[in-house]
Every structure is written in structure tokens, then in C-alpha cells.
Amino acid sequence: MKHSPETAARLAAYRDLLLRWNTRINLISAETAAEIDQRHIADCAQLEPLLPPEGPIADIGSGAGLPGLVLAIMQPECEIHLVESDKRKAAFLVEASAQLKLPMVRVHACRVENAKLPPLSAITARALAPLATLLPYADKFLAPGGVAVFPKGKTAEKELTEAAQGWHFTCERFPSTTNPEATILRLSNIHRVQP
């Protein structure tokens, strides 16, 4: 994926900040730090074309800002909410969004259940929880017509089958460009199955 020089420079600055902080608090595993551009940044950047052109967007369980901060760098005019309950990781998100000059980023240092979010055009989560756990958050926070974009690994089909027992949704699948075993799910029309 080709980025503008400004976006590429911001992504590089984010990578450097992430690696610096990672020596103090565990944001990403040591073995993936060496592959950060491909394994984390490119992996998150591929979500951007699947999102609506306007926000607000929330990244729940944002951790190191993957994918939330990457998406904020790619769409700096979009309001992006990062929800992270770990106070140290939330501090990193606040510091990173300030240093990267991303004024549209809002950090919520709380559990997702307690987050005060506006009606969202999209919600993302990467490596946070199974689909059946994520769908209630999507249902709660998405505005009508909103989408949930969840990268998933080998368990994607199993998670879809389990989630379909309690939820109706429209599912689009996109192959990951960075991991042949991964799939990106874009879910819409999410609502609970009535008993």
C-alpha cells in the first residue's frame, strides 16, 4: 500500500514511538517488534479502505493503538475514539496522539462497557475477543448503517458460526494482504436474535 510522504513519515514516527515505549511497557511482543511495519502497521492499514469515509470510529481494546492510531494517521480529519482499560497503554495512546499531532483522537481510559461514545459509523477491534463477545459492543455503539471491521485469524469461520447462534448480521469477508491465514470481516445490519 502506497502512502503519501506525510502519512509515511507519521507512520514511521509512530513506529519509533511504539518501539521506545515498548521497552518500558509491554505494548507488542518482542518477537514482532522486528516485523512491526509488516506485522502490525501494514496489517492495520489494510482496514482503512473497508471503513466508511467519515467517522466517528472507535477502536476497542486499542492497546498500542493497533489499528486505531494507524487509522487516525491515515484519516487525520476523522474523529477516532480509542478505548483502552490498561492505564499505562492509555497513557501511551494520549502521548502518541499528541506527538503525532492527531487532534481528532479521543482516548477513553476505561473498560469498553463504561465508555461514553457517540453513535459510531464504524467499530474496530484487533485480537481483543471472539466475535460473539464483540457483537454486543457493535450493537450498542454503532449508528444505523454502521459497520464493524474485525481482523480475524484461523478461527474466523468458527467464530462466525458461534456468533450466528445469537446474532443476525450481514458479513463480508476480505482476505488479509499481510497474512495468508487471516481474514477481515466487515459486519453490518447487526442485531440480536429474538428468542
Average pLDDT over residues 6-25: 91
The pLDDT tens digits for 149-183 are: 999 999 999 999 999 999 999 999 999 999 999 99
Other Cβ atoms less than 10 A from the Cβ of 134: the count is 25
pLDDT tier at 32, thresholds 50, 70, 90:
low
Which residues have CB under 8 Å from 180's CB, separation 6+?
none
pLDDT at 127 exceeding the cut of 90? no
- Min mean pLDDT across 23-32, 84-93, 183-192 is at 23-32
pLDDT, position 94? 98
Mean pLDDT of the chain: 93
Give the chain's domain count.
1
Average pLDDT over residues 89-105: 97
Q: Are strands 120-124 and 167-175 parallel, antiparallel or unpaired?
A: unpaired
pLDDT, position 1? 58
Following CA atoms 97, 100, 101, 103 in sequence, which dihedral angle do they give, to the nearest 10 degrees?
Answer: -30
* Candidate ranges 38-42, 125-129, 168-172; pick with highest mean pLDDT: 168-172
Domain with 17 in it: 5-192
For the domain that residue 106 is a member of, what is the CATH number?
3.40.50.150
Distance CA 63, CA 11 (A): 17
pLDDT tier at 35, thresholds 50, 70, 90:
confident
Closest CA to 177 of 46, 2, 53, 50: 46
